[in-house]
A and B are shown apart, each in its own frame.
Chain A
């Protein structure tokens, strides 16, 4: 019996020692943990930091983030969750829902689908009026402003969301989208409606969203871009000199591929749930077969894109077609980036107090404001109001 007791103590002691050694020397290759987290910087262990407890607190946080074998333990736990409970742990900053047929949903889209983000109609109408005024303002300048609503996976594919995540009572309530569309019509705003387009495309055989990703795929993003191009042609007093978009066909792959030379987002949710093998959530991935333009048009328009993560695929496609001469991105109206560059990685914060609205914004041939259905309650993130204020001066 003593041997068993001693063995048990030694095994646990060895496991602890292994974790300690791995923390220091990293001699075992650990699987990568996906996701964005802010690295902890340990403060100087001076008397002030020690007596205030700041050093200890930060050191413990650093240790938690850098402990040996961490990725094995985290991935093991997440994998067990998927195997045993058939769900993703609730204890995630970015909650992910494992749906029917292994469809993954990012929680904010389901949250919005359940009408938990409702804002008053008059707030939406105020924004709509400002968009209309901005559209007129740009038109007078022989330029264009287009407002786009990108679709949510939860509203396009609600049938894969398990019942326990759907509040059926609340589905009877009008969503922000349901309120917004009639208001856009009422005030004569020219807009592109991704949800309507996608619901029409849904009956076709190509998937519009990857099972393993939060955003649309390149095929459906292409279809939306074509729609925008059509709308843009009606918006400005002069020709915007936009290239025509042509689709040769659609290619379907059974795993995510790198498209137009940039890393794929088609499996972003599969990665962020940090399991050993995310392929259980893979399905069909649709990629547009599009001819690369042989020549680049002269006097292409310059565009400012204001929006969020759905623009990644759009920007990739805009590049592919060489649609624009210069592209600036106001990412969530918080970071600015002049493209081409690797999406948001090279961006810098927007200093709103130093923006020259005439030179930096209203001089663009096209202003493209994008909001996802899920983010209608936050649409523009302050850009619409600031632009309106500066335009009406």
Chain B
């Protein structure tokens, strides 16, 4: 159930929040869990069953993490983590791995391994990371185990962050958030954030995605340098606005319930280096990797070479976590490479350089990385990048396509707005916010904010309803 779907926006969301505020406090926790289960079951009923069974195993096995020798506890932790990683590997990567092995076998003239394919479990990457966070935090005693299975399941399955995060580390999760009295201001802020996220998704991300999808669906041989860049740039903004919109909606709904779901994005395209980028992009994932993988591997306390290797490995795994394809691996390795470069010299050097140099340079390199992320395979990514840098084609080669085949006037306007938002300087944002607060009374500010959000919501509904309406003029055969 996507947050921008009809079933969610017009049924799940209003019914849940109406019930949430009508029901007495003691029913809130069961309601949140029930709603989260329904939310997940709707998307993947079989997956929900598998996740439930493994979660019950995890929950009851956690008691063994609290007793016995350290060696014994570590063995239990290792077994439980292995169980979860196994779950992730099987449901996310087995189709890919078997496909690759069968490809090799076929090339070598052997019979392929019979394989019917494994169902895809929605949100499994996030679920497994939440489950591991729980296990490690309980093992490290940085948080108390959940008091009962319902509390544990609520942490794992809490619907706003279930499918696409943000990743909510267990020691940051407040089981009693829903019991606290929620004031109107908090609810309004959460609701506003949800609507803002919804608008970002429909008005910005989906519009840009239309252009990016059209371009990336073509063989790279049919592109020219201009279209390749258009595809890369629109995708770069699409993925940011799409993902951050989802985070906004999740954080907003969390706030409406009383949860403080952590921030996931902080203007990533203003990053001055890859290190800076990962402090701004998918913040909760970087934080999870740092806490549960990078530091356990030795963090900065190891030799330089080992440290670089660890860093690269973390990003290699991070790439793999994003999807079962070589393209994601390359993307992860690519980011890992630049993070090592940062550590070797660039981080210090970039601090001495003007933002006008470092920000565009980082953006350009990140954009190149997105081409791998978006492409179906490495060959396509390489061909696409080749087109992006075939500048001689600007004068020599004319594509059979026109720019108007990929982007209309609305798309151009949205691209300009997206770039404006994406690159709007932080300092100016702070001073603008300050000036607005000084000039306007809270009442005026709330009025303007409400009016703008209402219009955004209305325009988003226009876009949402229109995106599914694609009639033919006549019957086609």
Q: B-contacting residues of A (Cβ < 8 Å)? A: 1-2, 4-9, 11-13, 15-17, 19-20, 23, 33-37, 50-51, 53, 56, 59-61, 63-65, 67, 70, 73-74, 76-78, 80-81, 85-87, 89-94, 106, 114-116, 164-167, 169-170, 214, 268-269, 272, 274, 309, 331-332, 334-335, 344
Contacts and interface: CB of A to CB of B under 8 A. Distances in A.
Interface stretch (B403-411, B416-424, B427-435): B403-411
Contact of A35 (B184, B464, B473): B473
23 contacts: A1-B443, A4-B446, A5-B446, A8-B453, A12-B454, A15-B457, A20-B10, A35-B471, A37-B471, A50-B45, A60-B6, A64-B6, A64-B468, A73-B461, A73-B464, A77-B459, A78-B466, A81-B410, A90-B408, A91-B467, A164-B403, A165-B402, A165-B404
B46 interface: yes
B318 to A, nearest CB: 29
A16 B411 CA distance: 27
Interface in B115-150: none
Nearest first, the 7 closest Cβ-Cβ pairs linking A and B are A35-B471, A334-B477, A77-B462, A93-B470, A8-B450, A73-B465, A5-B188
Contacts of B326: none
B14 interface: yes
B475 A164 contact: no
Contacts of A19: 10
Interface string B371-409: 000000000000000000000000000101111101111
Nearest to B469: A74
Interface string B164-192: 00000000000000000000110110010
A167 B400 contact: yes
B471 A34 contact: yes
Given A56-B42, A70-B469, A77-B466, A91 B210 contact: yes
Contact of B465 (A67, A165, A332): A67
Given A20-B14, A56-B43, A165-B402, A73 B468 contact: no
Given A5-B450, A37-B472, A12 B191 contact: yes
A334 B475 CA distance: 11
Given A60-B6, A269-B473, 9 more contacts: A1-B446, A4-B446, A12-B191, A60-B5, A67-B6, A89-B410, A90-B406, A268-B473, A331-B477
A87 B408 contact: yes
Q: In which size bucket is the chain B interface?
A: 35 or more
B253 interface: no
Contacts of A268: 473-474
Contacts of B82: none
A106 B463 contact: no
Given A164-B403, A165-B404, A17 B14 contact: yes
Contacts of A93: 470-472
Contacts of A77: 459, 462-463, 465-466
A272 B473 contact: yes
B184 A85 contact: no
Contacts of B469: 33, 37, 70, 74, 274
A92 B473 CA distance: 11
Contacts of A80: 462
A116 B405 CA distance: 12
Nearest to B443: A1
Nearest to A35: B471
Contacts of A51: 45-46
B345 interface: no
B185 A16 contact: no
Contacts of A169: 398
A36 B10 contact: no
A63 B184 contact: no
Contact of A85 (B403, B410, B476): B410
A17 B187 CA distance: 19
B188 to A, nearest CB: 4
B400 A116 contact: yes
Nearest to A166: B402
B462 A63 contact: no
A282 B464 CA distance: 29
Q: Which interface residue of A5, A15, A20 has the most chain B CB atoms within 10 A?
A: A5
Nearest to A332: B477
B298 to A, nearest CB: 43
B443 A4 contact: yes
Nearest to B451: A8
A35 B476 CA distance: 12
Contact of B195 (A12, A59, A87, A90): A12
A67 B184 contact: no
B7 interface: yes
Contacts of A74: 462, 465-466, 469
A335 B462 CA distance: 36
Contacts of B210: 90-91
Contacts of A16: 9-10, 13-14
B446 A170 contact: no
B6 to A, nearest CB: 4
Contacts of B11: 20
Interface in B151-172: none
Contacts of B450: 4-5, 7-8
A77 B467 CA distance: 10
